[in-house]
Amino acid sequence: MAQPSNFGDDALGHLDALYATARRLTRNPAEAEDLVQDTYVKAFRHQRRFRPGTNLRAWLFAILHNTFLNDIRRRKGSPVEAVDDAAPGAADRQPAPGPTPEDALVAEATAAEIDAALAALPEPYREAVWLRDVQELSYAEIAGVLQVPAGTVMSRIARGRRLLHDRLHHIRASAIRTADPGVKAKGT
């Protein structure tokens, strides 16, 4: 059966989502543009491998993810953040702050603060949280994109969100102290 004639338009319809994701992966606008372009080159070249009826967006995210990893491997000396999915680190075992009033602080976080907190997450957590909470991929789709078991995806998202919460709490408390040095934020 011939490929749908509108594959190109369908694929390019996900440009913004791919670019936003590439921005989070590379942390660099120019590199993000190159990464997205390389992703589309591969997608168009291998479009026959896409199975109509499956999720095109998730398929494109998988190409983006693999292209990003390959770019990292090609760069000599580029730091790769290693994460042991099976053994939580010491920081992960610390009890997280209680749900209140710290969560009220987190709820007041601005988009810029969340952006900064996401950027500070170790890469595997950042990508998993981003794909779930911003791009709204299912856990199964994320597992397909990252090529890891669904349980690993869930663990990364749980840990990533917890780290994000702690980071946001720290950012908000600092912002309050800066705005009013006389105020001491609770829980800090």
Partner 1 sequence: MTQRESCEAIEPLLAPYGEPDAAALMTAAERDRVAAHFEACPPCRQSAAACRAARAAVRAHAAELADQAPPLLAARCRAAAARAASPRRASRWVGWSAAGAAAAIVLFLFLMPTHAVATQLAVDHVTCAKFPAAARAGTPGELEAVWRGERGQQIRIPGGDAGSGLRLVGLRRCVSTEGNMAHVQYERAGAPVSLFVLGAGSRLAGGGAPAEVETLGHKAILWTAGAATYVLVGRGDLAGTAAWMRKEIQE
Which residues of this chain interact with partner 1, rule CB under 8 A? Answer: 8, 11-12, 15-20, 23, 29-30, 33-34, 36-38, 40-42, 44-45, 88, 93, 95-99, 102-103, 106-107, 109-111, 114-115, 118, 129, 132-136, 139, 151-155, 157-159, 161-162, 164-166, 168
Least separation in angstroms between CB 27 and partner 1: 12
Residue 96 CB neighbours (<10 A): 13
Least separation in angstroms between CB 29 and partner 1: 8
Tokens of 18: 């791919």
CA-wise closest residue to 125 among 92, 174, 98, 78 = 92
Of the two residues 34 and 175, which places its CB atom closer to partner 1 in the complex? 34
Of the two residues 24 and 182, which places its CB atom closer to partner 1 in the complex? 24
Residue matched to tokens 């590439």: 22
Least separation in angstroms between CB 87 and partner 1: 8
Of the two residues 78 and 182, which places its CB atom closer to partner 1 in the complex? 78
CA angle 163-175-135, nearest 5°? 45
Residue matched to tokens 């998730």: 58
Of the two residues 65 and 165, which places its CB atom closer to partner 1 in the complex? 165
- Distance between CA atoms of 51 and 183, rounded to whole angstroms? 57
Do residues 109 and 168 touch, judged by C-beta distance below 8 A? yes
Of the two residues 103 and 177, which places its CB atom closer to partner 1 in the complex? 103
User: Roughly what angle, to the nearest 10 degrees, separates helices 56-74 and 29-45?
Assistant: 120
Least separation in angstroms between CB 155 and partner 1: 5
- Distance between CA atoms of 65 and 68, rounded to whole angstroms? 5
Least separation in angstroms between CB 180 and partner 1: 22
